[in-house]
């Protein structure tokens, strides 16, 4: 049997030197390199605009005046009843389908807005994505976008996605209706 006790100080010193080197490298990387590469809001905003430009998407940061205009247009297109429960109250909310907390660039996009009553809006979390718009409302929104150049240029994020969503909701509603009618016809026999 070989006795390594004489070489133990050598192994320990080599391991210690290795760990010190690894620690120094990690310290240098995490605290020196990363601290010099701080991402500012302006950098993030620039990256979002570059991404949107590549995808031909719109991004609009607005004011309270912009918000009032979008709110009025949303009520005009979708009505003043809650899209989830159908209730109408004096203080209806215009809700962000994709929440501002996770999608701040969609805050002033009309294709990200829906009408909800205060109760339904409060039940929805700040990270939950819930779209309660009916196919007819999506179609009305698309018509308004096509006829209103201001909305088209400034307040629509992705019109192609909106068309896709409208088509899918129409298909689902049609399939649900056809399936329902088939079940009803079975009971008539």
Average predicted confidence (pLDDT) for the chain: 78
How many residues belong to the chain?
A: 189
Domain of 35, in residue numbers: 11-56
Residue 134 maps to a domain: yes
Per-residue pLDDT band at 1 (split at 50, 70, 90): low
Do 178 and 95 lie in a common domain? yes
pLDDT tens digits, 97-140? 998 888 888 888 999 999 999 999 999 877 788 999 988 899 89
Do 50 and 136 lie in a common domain? no
Residue 5 maps to a domain: no
Report the domain count for the chain.
2
pTM above 0.95, yes or no: no
Buried b (16+ CB within 10 A) or exposed e, 42-52: eeeeeeeeeee
Do 15 and 91 lie in a common domain? no
Cβ neighbour number for residue 96 with a 10 Å cutoff: 22
């Amino acid at each position: 049997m070989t006795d390594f006790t004489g070489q133990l100080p050598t192994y320990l010193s080599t391991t210690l030197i290795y760990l010190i080197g690894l620690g120094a490298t990690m310290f240098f990387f995490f605290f020196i390199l990363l601290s010099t590469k701080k991402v500012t809001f302006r950098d993030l905003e620039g990256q979002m605009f570059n991404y949107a430009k590549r995808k031909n998407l719109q991004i609009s940061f607005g004011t309270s005046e912009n918000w009032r205009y979008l709110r009025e247009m949303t009520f005009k297109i979708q009505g003043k009843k809650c899209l989830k429960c159908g209730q109408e109250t004096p203080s209806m909310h215009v809700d962000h389908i994709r929440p501002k907390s996770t999608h701040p660039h969609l805050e002033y996009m009309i294709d990200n807005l829906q009408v909800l009553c205060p109760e339904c809006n409060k039940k929805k979390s700040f990270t939950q994505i819930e779209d309660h718009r009916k196919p007819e409302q999506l179609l009305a929104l698309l018509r308004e976008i096509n006829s209103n150049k201001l909305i088209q240029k400034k307040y629509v994020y992705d019109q192609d996605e909106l068309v896709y969503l409208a088509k899918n909701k129409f298909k689902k509603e049609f399939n649900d209706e056809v399936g329902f009618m088939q079940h009803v016809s079975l009971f008539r026999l």
